[in-house]
Every structure is written in C-alpha cells, then in structure tokens.
Structure 1
Amino acid sequence: MSSIVQGFTKSLAMTVLSEIGDKTFFAAAILAMRHPRRLVLSGCLSALIVMTILSVIVGWAAPNLVSRKWSHHITTLLFFSFGLWSLKDALFGDGDTEELAEVEAELDKTWKANNGAKKNSNKVDDDLKKNKQRPLFSQFFSPILLKAFSITFFGEWGDKSQLATIGLAADENPFGVVLGGILGQALCTTAAVVGGKSLASQISEKIVALSGGILFIVFGIQSFLSPVES
C-alpha cells in the first residue's frame, strides 16, 4: 500500500509541475476560448489519460526488457537530466511568453487554414448551435473533440513529462503512478480550460520550472540512494 501511495504522490507532483505552462496547457486554454469548453476538456483530457496509461505500461514493461539494475540506473539518470533541464529553463529561459506565442501561432495557422477569415465569436456560436443539435453519442466524434485530442496527444509525445512518467513507472508502483498522473492531468487540464491563459499569466513560469527542477533532482537523489530491487 505504501508503494502505491509513494508512486501516486510522486506522479501527482511531477505531473502538475511539468504540465503547468506546458505547450499542451496553452493549447487547451486557447482551444477553450474558441470552442465549447466541455468538448475541449473531453478531448484534451482523453488524450492525456491515454498517454499516461501508455507511458506507465512502457515503464512497467521496461524491467522485463532490460535488467532491473539498468532500468533503475536509467531512471535515476532521467531524473537528474530533467532536473537540470528544468533548472536551466528557470535560470536562462525566456519564460512562458515565447512558448505561448509559439502555440498561438501554430493554432492560428491551422485556424485560418480551416476556417478562412471568420470571426472567432461567430465560430463559437456556430459550434455551440451545431453541438446542441447533435445527439449526445455523436458529440464524442465531434471534429472539435478530435482536434483537441490529436493536438494534445501528439504535443505530449516524446515530451519531458511523458519520458519522466515512463521512468517513474519503471521505479515505482505503476498503479499509483497511473492514478497520480491522471489526477494531475485532470487538475491541470481543467485549470487550462477554465482560465488557463489568465492563470498562466499570474503564475511565474520561472518558479514553476525551478520547483519542477528541484523535484526531479530530489527524485534522482532518492532513486540513486535506493537499493535496486531484484
């Protein structure tokens, strides 16, 4: 039971500190300004849950493909690497302004290509009317939901938080890691959809990156000092 709690706690803390101000966080926030929030939340959260489960499965299977000793050492190295990466971003990065601008530019490009020069407010009204007229089941296949899902899923693929989740699942109880990861993703995605852009502007990106870096370093030290389970 203690191993599940430890995996849950580590995964929850790591996910929250990794996802606040992340590209997918901003993408969810911007999409929610243009489309019905429940569809954006459903699409983004579904993608993150699938990604978390896949990452944990890979991490859980890793010791069966590589020796437990090597998977433990790789996990320790990942934690230290991500910790130094986050600390570097905190000390020398440009904050979230550049990342937000990049995400907005990418979404605007897609937006213009798909919708021409329509005003955002009119588009939102049209989306709301169309989705209200659809049966509940068919809304699960809404282009908006699928768009939110695909942007989030591929945005997270190979991201620092995904690789960290794989490493964490290789070293901790996978069930606890799944629960903590899903709860963390749910909290961050809900915050992004409800008021992500304004929330991100009030939270210092450097503080978040610094906290995340320290957390990863702590995980790395703990992993380094822990004996390798046979």
Structure 2
Amino acid sequence: MDLSVVQGFSKSLAMTILSEIGDKTFFAAAILAMRHPRRLVLSGCLGALIVMTILSAVVGWAAPNLIPRKWTHHITTLLFLGFGLWSLWDAFNEGESEEFAEVEKELNADIKANGGQTRENNKDADDKKKQSRPFLTQFFSPILLKAFSITFFGEWGDKSQLATIGLAADENPLGVVLGGIIGQALCTTAAVLGGKSLATQISEKFVSLSGGVLFIVFGIQSFLSSVES
C-alpha cells in the first residue's frame, strides 16, 4: 500500500476517534440506542457519518485545485493548531458529562413535542400508518431516518468535519476516507452498544486533552513539512 495512503489513514483514524468520542453525535447515538432498536440507530448514525466523511474528503481533495497548494497547506496548519487549542480549552473549562445531559434534554424535548410514544405503541402505529407515510419512509424506517438526520446535521460544520476537510487537503484523500470511516464505525458501534453506561463513564476531560495534543502535533508536523507543488 502507498505510504501516503497509510499516513492519511493513520492520521484520520486517530483524529476521528479522539474527535468523536464524547462528541454530541456520540451521545445522541447512545441515547437513541436506549430507546429504539440498535440496528436501526447504528445504521442511521453510521450512514450519516460515512456520507459526511466522504463529502468532507471530497471538499478537501478539491480545495488544492481551487486554491494554491501553499495556501491550503497553511490553512490546514492553522486549523490543526486552532482545534488543538480549542480542545485544550474545552478540557479545562467544561464539566464532566455536560454534553450528555444537554443532548438528552434536547432529545427528550423533541419526543415531548411530537407526543412521545412507547416502543410498543410505535410498532402498532407503524402498521396502520405505513400506507400514508412520506416517500422516504416507505423504504426506510422512521427511526433510521431520525438517527441519520440528527447525526448528519449535528456533524455539519463540526470541528471533526472541518478537520477532515483540512486533513484531506494535505494528505491522501483515500487514506483519510478509509481511516475516517473505520474510526466512525468504531465510535458509533461503541456508543450504540455501550449505551448510557459507556457515555457517562467516559472522561471528557481526558478525551479533550488527548485530542488537543493530537491536533497540535499534526499542526506542528504540517508547519515543519515542505509544501508539495
């Protein structure tokens, strides 16, 4: 395998795991999995993250063709350093499990707004409403679509998405996509299978510190490396 693919893969895998563990979408997947069938939640969340990873890598791959390579390299360096400092700031200024409580509150509010039902009621209602569902829900479970939309829009503009764009602009896009997808799969599967017990036992401070250090290391490495013409 090409060395550039391996380098992009390893960087993307490490960055994705440290960015996604303890992230809002990680907690959303954990909470949804406690209330709905795990396979549907996993399929929806992972599908959204794979689509987002590919889109981000495509944007990063196209950037050097639209902007001089020198500029994309410098922008990527600043992104890594900036995200590193941002993660370190979060580590020392945010309380443990605040993100989990915030996401749980938002999802509870959403359920109340839609007249929350039990899983059994949902199953009975699905059979009666199947014929009157919107187009997409004729082919996909509403739960899968809900998990997909919550994850996709939760990741849009997120730190991990921007970091993936920057990484794909500076590394082999194929390696970035492969590393990102595997990292997303590991994190999402852990969130869905582990549920609340895993989410509440994660040390958000440690994850933020580790992620911050990793981003800064990437930034320094990018700063010291030469720009390919």
| Pair in the same fold by TM > 0.5 | yes
Distance 1:109 1:87 in 2: 31
* 1:95-174 map, 5 Å: 95=96, 97-116=97-116, 118=117, 123-127=118-122, 141-174=140-173
Q: Which runs of 5+ in 2 are unaligned?
A: 131-136
Distance 1:181 1:41 in 2: 16
The offset of 1:99, in angstroms, is 1.1
Partner amino acid, structure 2, of 1:107: L
The offset of 1:197, in angstroms, is 2.0
The offset of 1:128, in angstroms, is 5.7
Distance 2:195 2:32 in 1: 10
Distance 2:189 2:183 in 1: 10
Equivalent residue for 1:217? 216
The offset of 1:202, in angstroms, is 2.0
* 1:40-59 map, 5 Å: 40-59=41-60
Contact 1:35/1:127 (<8 A) preserved? no
Partner amino acid, structure 1, of 2:112: K
Task: Pick closer, same or farther for the CA change 1:80–1:145 going to 2, 3 Å.
Answer: same
Contact 1:20/1:188 (<8 A) preserved? yes
Distance 2:138 2:192 in 1: 18
Contact 2:11/2:176 (<8 A) preserved? yes
SS in 1 for 2:114: helix
Distance 2:89 2:198 in 1: 23
The offset of 1:203, in angstroms, is 2.1
Task: Pick closer, same or farther for the CA change 1:139–1:31 going to 2, 3 Å.
Answer: farther
Distance 2:10 2:100 in 1: 29
So what's the TM-score if we normalise by structure 1?
Answer: 0.91
Contact 2:29/2:191 (<8 A) preserved? yes
Equivalent residue for 1:76? 77
Contact 1:36/1:127 (<8 A) preserved? no
Distance 1:69 1:189 in 2: 35
* 1:171-210 map, 5 Å: 171-210=170-209
The offset of 1:131, in angstroms, is 7.6
Tell me the percent identity.
78
Please give the root-mean-square deviation of Cα atoms over the aligned residues, in Å: 1.9
Partner amino acid, structure 1, of 2:35: R
Contact 2:41/2:192 (<8 A) preserved? yes
The offset of 1:126, in angstroms, is 4.2
SS in 2 for 1:194: helix
The C-alpha deviation readout for 1:4-58, integer Å capped at 9, x for no partner, is 0000000000000000010000101111111111011000000000000000000
So what's the TM-score if we normalise by structure 2?
Answer: 0.91
